[in-house]
Amino acid sequence: MKNSSLSGISAIVKEVLEHKTFGAIRGALGRAIKLSEPVTPEVAARFLADQTFAKTLIGVRSQSEWRDRMLNDPVNTEFSVPLEAGGPADTRSTDSIAELALKSANAYIQWSTQGFKEVDSETLERRRNACLGCDQLKDAPETLAYRLALVVARDDPRVCMACGCLFMKKTAMPNEACPMPAAGDQNSTRWDEPIL
């Protein structure tokens, strides 16, 4: 995919994620992919949790046959969340969802432009060992945002509470950094990498 197309897709993904309620996200996504109605909760949930799906769906928004295939993908049912369309739960604040999703989207979009390249095994081991000994590493909170993210991650459910990221994904991404300074060294992070 050309860089200009990628940045156009990224901009649309970000625009949808800027909406602050789950219902608004469903409506915005429906408009973005040229539907006359909001997308289903399952499609919106997958869009929030699965950035590859999100970008592909936006990428095929003008090709109705491909778009509809994605909307009817049986995998979407795995993203079923207990939200009633139009009901009170549908308008709950999704600040945390949007915040996590946007952060995640930005990280994934950057990662995708690098071909999902991972850090080398030595770096990965050093980072993960640091996280495993860190007081910021906790089980993911019981929120919709994290439940969605975990459906995608399908691995360790622990989260860095300093930045909100799933640590298994975060530590593999070359463009990610630990947000905390190392004890006694304000120039390095807890991953023993320079603070940029």
Quote the CA–CA distance of 73 and 57 in Å, as a whole number.
Answer: 11
Q: How near is the Cβ of 192 to ligand SF4 at its closest, in Å?
A: 10
Which residues, 6+ apart, have CB-to-CB distance to 196 below 8 Å? 177
User: For residues 15 and 156, which CB has a smaller minimum distance to ligand SF4 in the complex?
Assistant: 156
Q: How near is the Cβ of 178 to ligand SF4 at its closest, in Å?
A: 3
Amino acid at 185: D
Nearest to 13 by CA among 27, 1, 28: 28
Half-sphere exposure of 9 (CA within 13 A, CB side): 25
- Please identify which residue in the block is written with the tokens 């952060």: 103
Q: List interacting residues with ligand SF4 (CB under 6 A).
A: 130-131, 134, 136-137, 160, 162, 167, 178-180, 190-191
Task: Supply the DSSP symbol for 119.
Answer: P
User: For residues 28 and 145, which CB has a smaller minimum distance to ligand SF4 in the complex?
Assistant: 145
User: For residues 134 and 195, which CB has a smaller minimum distance to ligand SF4 in the complex?
Assistant: 134
Q: How near is the Cβ of 99 to ligand SF4 at its closest, in Å?
A: 17
User: For residues 112 and 188, which CB has a smaller minimum distance to ligand SF4 in the complex?
Assistant: 188
Q: How near is the Cβ of 100 to ligand SF4 at its closest, in Å?
A: 15
